[in-house]
Structure 1
Amino acid sequence: MKKVIGGLALATLIAAGCGGNGDTEDTDGSQNQTDLEEIEENSENSGMTGSNEDSEMDEDEEEHDHEDEGIDDETESEDDPEGETAETEVTHYLADDHTVRPLDENSDEQVVLLTIDDVPDSHGVEMAETLAELEAGAIFFVNGHFLHSDEGKEQLQAIYDLGFEIGNHTMNHPNMSNLTEEEQYSEIVDLNDMIEEITGERPRFYRAPFGVNTDYSRELLEEKGMQWMNWTYGYDYDADYMEAEPLAEIMVETELLRNGANLLMHDRSFTSAALEDIVTGLRENGYEPLDPARIE
């Protein structure tokens, strides 16, 4: 992470859920329209220095003192936790299929991208703390309607302060295909403004609710220098996996798990409870959660 730490089938969506496998739905015709229609139908039911004392000394003593001072300054800079940290190396890019791929084609590093949507609802900070303890990177995609209260703002700040990338998930979690261009603009840009006001940093990643992107939203994101992504797979919206144990199992045992996979999760109690086992299981299978700061 950028500040603190280094890196099936569709079913009924529950309130504020985001939909099924992210590479199976979009409005550009490249993804499965039947799934999208199911998602849209279900979405209607659903609802993160001290003073310097002068003295006389000969030239040799003065030169020696200056040399020691330089060494001390260098040591202080290396050890000072408030000093600038080394810039994270960019090693991956976001592919058109929403996976992350290495810039170096010869790289044998096996990674996955963890993403948490609908933040900060009730468990976002808890999930961020778990991931921070595990030194696992993730993107927390935020909805603006959670940020109208002081508590919501504080929760977002806490997630950001733990070092996590904050993404834009729209202000009110609408189906963007039902909105005018002006309304789409407000859903994205107004939330960017709100997030920047709270954290001091504008989001660079965007995820559309239900995975529904439009021609206009993609043009707007390009204009604003943002990158949009859907996902490879996710299960915590599926009634069969709304408990920690089965969710943790499917997230690491699914045939959809592969190098660069983009894993969708949500700010929910059972997902939070499963999170440590998910990260542990991914690592046991040879996959390391990627620090989003490593994505160009």
Structure 2
Amino acid sequence: MKKTVFYIGVILLIMLSACTNGDESDSDEHVGEETKEQQEEVEIEEESDRAEKEEELEEIEDEDQREEDLVVKAKYKISENWSVEPIVEGTNENVVLLTIDDAPDKYALEMAQTLKQLDAGAIFFVNGHFLDTPEEKEILKQIHDMGFVIGNHTYSHAFLPDLTNEEQQKELVQLNDELEEIIGERPSFFRAPNGANTDFSMQAAEDEEMVVMNWTYGYDYFTPYMEADKLTTAMVTGEGPEVDVPYSLLKPGANLLMHDREWTNEALEDIVIGLREQGYEILDPHLIQTVK
């Protein structure tokens, strides 16, 4: 009987030991599974962090490259006397910039088509009151789509010194908003009507990231030059004796003012050809340094 009890006790101890070992094994296996899952989660998080950092680095590199491209692309700047100056060594100095104000009135699209055929760039300075209809807005979009630079010439062509600061601000910003809606971008250049800037308008233009630009000469708004032949001669020679300019204003970097006018439209092709025959390159305005 004692032996039987002994054997039963031994058997119970063996069974208890086996159960205990089994529980420990199951527990160890469960812990192992948890550790593996945790490790996988850590690896996934680390991989995600690496991917985010790589993406951030790529974005920084892309931005740096874009800035480098802009620096390389900009070869000229507008000087204090409103002429165009090279900023890159070895850049051609014998250039002239064509600008056309009061667009798009009646002839701007035809003028743009003429310039396009001649492979000549220009800045079209726009007045907001010439954008009253869908047709006028479409004309401006066509000019922009042909590759021409669009500038701000105020909304209503007001004489800025006569306006309050608030009114001047509105003249610039309201037009910029409308131009952005039409062509998808805000202009980089500003020209005040009659070239009459104020300290406030210049600061407002800077705040809007626009380069302030006047001109070095232009004749099509003087009565003696409201004929195509006379205007061509004046623009190509730089001389305007009928308006007390008996000497030539045509110099390297000249910034030429023209307008959306019938006689200017008629003279435009001959003006471009004549300037080139004088040894001047018609500057691509996209090569001018901007604030943006």
Q: Report the TM-score, using the length of structure 2 for normalisation.
A: 0.70
2:162 pairs with 1:169: no
Q: 2:177 is matched by which residue type in structure 1?
A: D
Alignment of 1:39-58 (within 5 A): none
| 1:196 aligned partner | 180
Secondary structure of the 1:166 match is strand
Which of residues 67, 82, 87 in structure 2 aligns to 1:103? 87
Task: Give 1:106 shift.
Answer: 4.4
The corresponding residue for 2:190 is 206
Contact preservation (8 Å) 2:93, 2:253: no
Aligned to 2:4: none
**Unaligned runs of at least 5 residues, structure 1:** 1-85
Q: Which amino acid aligns with 1:131?
A: L
The answer to whether the 8 A contact 2:85-2:93 is kept is no
* Pairing of 1:121-200 with structure 2 (within 5 A): 121-200=105-184
Q: 2-side partners of 1:108 and 1:131: how far apart? A: 21
1:116 aligns with 2:94: no
SS in 2 for 1:96: coil
> For 1:184 and 1:166, how far apart are their aligned partners in 2?
20
Q: Are 1:247 and 2:236 matched, yes or no?
A: no
SS state of the match for residue 140, structure 1?
strand
Determine the C-alpha separation between the residues in 1 that align with 2:118 and 2:165. 41
C-alpha RMSD of matched pairs (Å):
1.3
Relative contact order (C-alpha < 8 Å, sep 6+): which is higher? Answer: 1
Larger radius of gyration: 2
Aligned equivalents of 1:233, 1:93: Cα separation in 2: 17
Deviation at 1:89, TM superposition (A): 2.3
Q: Does the CA-based 8 Å contact 2:176-2:187 persist in structure 1?
A: yes
Give the corresponding residue for 2:272. Answer: 279
Q: Percent identity?
A: 56
User: Which of 248, 253, 256 is matched with 1:260 structurally?
Assistant: 253
Which structure is higher in helix share? 2
Normalised TM-score (structure 1): 0.69
What whole-Å deviation, never above 9, does each CA across 1:93-119 have from its counterpart, x for those lacking one?
A: 111111110013543441001000000
Asked whether 1:227 is paired with 2:185, we answer: no
SS in 1 for 2:176: helix
- Distance in structure 2 (CA, Å) of the matches to 1:107 and 1:89: 12
* Secondary structure, aligned partner of 1:277: helix
2:222 is equivalent to residue 238 of structure 1: yes
| 1:22-61 correspondence to structure 2 within 5 Å | none
Pair 1:148–1:103, CA change in 2 (3 A)? same
Match of 2:180, SS state, is: helix
Unmatched tracts of structure 2, length 5 or more = 1-68, 239-247
